[in-house]
Amino acid sequence: MCRRLPVVFLSALFVLPGAMRGDEGIPAKKLDELKAATVYVKVEGGEWAATGSGFLIQVDGDTGLIVTNHHVVETPRGFSAGKVSLVLWSGSKKEKVLAADIVASDAERDLAVLKVTSKDLPKPLDLSQKVELRETMPVYTFGFPLGDLLSTTKGNPAMTIGKATVSSVREDDRGKVSVVQLDGEVNPGNSGGPVTDAEGKLVGIVVAKIEGTKICFAIPPTELTAMLGGRISALGIEIKKVEDGVAEVALGVQSLDPLKKIGKIEIRYVRKDALKEQPKANDDGTWAELPGSEKVAVKFEDQKAGVTLKLKCADKKRVHYWFQPVYVDGTGKTIALEPGQRAIDFRPADQAGLLAHWKLDEGKGSTAEDETDKLKATLHGGRWVEGIKGQALQFDGDGDYLDYGDTEELNFQAGDAFTFSGWVKSKAQTGGIVSQRNSKEEGAVIDLTLTGGKLQALVRADGKVVCANVAGKAINDGEWHHFALTRDRGRTIELFIDGVSQGKASQADAEGSITTNLRALGSERLWVQTKFPTPPQLIGAVDDFRVYDRALSVEEIRKLAVK
């Protein structure tokens, strides 16, 4: 099973037969124990299959826990999950095949823990024995390179043991060992197998190699220890309902705790405007607990934890909260994770999620005021004219635009939904109607433009390349037309004209965060800055511009589109 990571090709790596040299190896008794503890991992899906290696780390009665790589048991995108089986004493007369369950799988560390049930399980590796890693240290790899291809029978293959040396102990920016680099011959099929020293102490777990070289990599034992100690991964925040100034918020976390070591989990929360300084990481990358925060205990069951919280806001306005998971790991250490921010709208339902609303009814002057948070937009050129509802802004295509600022409120995080809505009237072929870009990088895009007289929507996340793109019908007939652009909490955008969907587009590069500081009605300001050949200025009028932090329903958009 092969996969790619930046710079190197990663594959399930294992040492080839014949890699042993004639010098003294592992004592016979210890060697037999290591061979018995190492298992052949097989995953069989309907239309796919994978093999790898693993090793026993714990036996409790008839239950055994086995470690392998996450990528060995990972289901390829677009396929159904396969069945995992482990072969003990593979290729021998004692061979035993057991069905296995995935107890925990950590994509970040590329480690997974499997569980089997059987009598007379082998002795597991002793993880309590520590090794001082050093370059030139001879080490041994255990596993099943090339899977069934090396079998000399009709059954499963016997184990291959290879020899390598530690060529580098690579550390991260904080001086922590992040990967053990080995020099030795390895092949696909042995990913997840143990690497030990001559005394049988664990040096690492084989994970990857650079193709065409003898350079390969092992996950250090400290990463395995950390995973087995338990950790919390993602924090989920869902606003269930808001009624009479009370918000019901569901908070959930995913845990990776195969040995059930986590002591307790709490979620701390505090209003953003109650903090003197906004949260930031310590120099060593850790986080302090949110100051002045309240806390709620989280019920934990089967690797998932959740709680429903009720928050009150008497003045019924839009409020930002910080939420932070805090837990006690298997060593008794309290760990605070990076906090996440979420806005909760306590306003009436017809205003829910409304981030900004410029009615554009001022009729004079060079500023337009937002009706929600009182954000001022500055008019550069342009003029006031009669609109679809009251007044509107007319742009003449000679460098005029409405700058509606760079507030954080109109930046979007990965997974954030949004809606941009307004009215436009034009006879032009091209021009920017709504644009949010970033002056420092060209990735971030939220654009609504006229292209060949047709309304076009483009959305792309920070640092990405490919836009989600929807082209609508022609609207350059000199009449008022309502437009709406939505993004769901994933990667799909949808464009509406006069309350009618013009189509959807789903693009991976559209689902991330979108951070912008060039925002305008009537101009695509980055095109102006970079002298892009497409005319960036709008000749036409814009009215009643709104931005929401959710994807409005079709019915809500139709109501906004009523003249």
Rounded Cα distance, 84 and 349, in Å: 48
Contacts 24+ apart (CB under 8 A), 212-216: 214/183, 214/184, 214/185, 214/186, 215/167, 215/181, 215/182, 215/183, 216/13, 216/164, 216/181, 216/182, 216/183, 216/184, 216/186
Distances (CA, A) of 246 to 242, 306, 340, 555: 6, 19, 20, 25
357 and 385: one domain? yes
329 and 408: one domain? no
pLDDT tens, position by position, 119-177: 989 999 999 888 889 999 999 999 998 877 877 777 789 889 999 999 999 988 878 88
pLDDT tens, position by position, 207-216: 988 888 889 9
Closest CA to 139 of 199, 84, 97: 199
197 and 240: one domain? no
Q: What is the pLDDT of residue 464?
A: 93
Statement: residue 14 has pLDDT above 50: no
The encoded tokens of residue 480 equal 């008022």
Q: Mean pLDDT across the stretch 362-390? A: 91
Statement: residue 488 has pLDDT above 80: yes
| Amino acid identity at 5 | L
201 and 124: one domain? yes
Q: Mean pLDDT across the stretch 513-536? A: 84
338 and 391: one domain? no
Q: Mean pLDDT across the stretch 71-79? A: 89
Q: Mean pLDDT across the stretch 235-252? A: 88
Q: Which helix (H) or strand (E) holds 493?
A: strand 492-497
Closest CA to 530 of 413, 438, 427: 438
Q: What is the pLDDT of residue 302?
A: 66
160 and 105: one domain? yes
Tell me which of 204, 227, 250 is where a domain ends.
227
With contact defined as beta carbons under 8 Å apart, do 281 and 338 qualify? yes
Closest CA to 19 of 151, 191, 143: 143
Whole-prediction pTM value?
Answer: 0.65
Report the domain count for the chain: 3
Rounded Cα distance, 445 and 438, in Å: 8
Statement: residue 375 has pLDDT above 70: yes
Tell me which of 349, 373, 403 is where a domain ends.
349
379 and 419: one domain? yes
Q: What is the CATH number of the domain that holds 324?
A: 2.60.40.680
Closest CA to 405 of 363, 376, 364: 376
With contact defined as beta carbons under 8 Å apart, do 142 and 15 qualify? no
Q: What is the pLDDT of residue 212?
A: 83
Distances (CA, A) of 561 to 59, 147, 389: 65, 62, 11
For residue 518, which phi and psi values (nearest 5 degrees)? -115, 100
Q: What is the CATH number of the domain that holds 506?
A: 2.60.120.200
Statement: residue 7 has pLDDT above 50: no
Q: What is the pLDDT of residue 498?
A: 97
Write out the residue range of the structural domain in which residue 95 sits: 2-227
CB atoms within 10 A of CB 548: 22
Rounded Cα distance, 281 and 111, in Å: 26
Q: What is the CATH number of the domain that holds 95?
A: 2.40.10.120
CA atoms within 13 A on the CB side of 384: 14
449 and 526: one domain? yes
As a three-state string, the secondary structure of 421-433 is: EEEEEECCCEEEE
427 and 342: one domain? no
Statement: residue 506 has pLDDT above 90: yes
Q: Mean pLDDT across the stretch 409-423? A: 93
Kindly list the strands in the beta sheet with 304-312, ordered across the sheet, starting from the edge strand earlier in the chain. Answer: 231-243, 246-256, 304-312, 299-301
- For 216-239, letters b (16+ CB in 10 Å) and e give bbbbbbebbebbbbbbbeebebeb
Tell me which of 195, 227, 259 is where a domain ends.
227
What residues have CB less than 8 Å from 523, skipping those under 6 apart? 395, 399, 400, 401, 432, 435, 536, 537, 538
The encoded tokens of residue 23 equal 């010098």
Q: For residue 538, with 0-12 CB atoms within 10 Å meaning exposed, 13-18 middle and 19 or more buried, which class applies?
A: buried
Closest CA to 213 of 239, 179, 187: 187
With contact defined as beta carbons under 8 Å apart, do 524 and 432 qualify? yes
256 and 182: one domain? no
203 and 218: one domain? yes
Q: For residue 417, with 0-12 CB atoms within 10 Å meaning exposed, 13-18 middle and 19 or more buried, which class applies?
A: middle
Q: What is the pLDDT of residue 11?
A: 38
Distance of CA 66 to the CA centre of its chain: 27
Q: Mean pLDDT across the stretch 422-431? A: 96
Q: 377 forms bridges with which residues in the sheet?
A: 368
DSSP state of 364: S
133 and 95: one domain? yes
Q: What is the pLDDT of residue 24?
A: 65
Q: Mean pLDDT across the stretch 544-554? A: 95
Q: Mean pLDDT across the stretch 264-283? A: 91
Rounded Cα distance, 455 and 475, in Å: 7
**In 229-317, at which residue ranges do the beta strands (DSSP E only) sit?**
231-243, 246-256, 265-271, 294-297, 299-301, 304-312
Rounded Cα distance, 202 and 192, in Å: 12
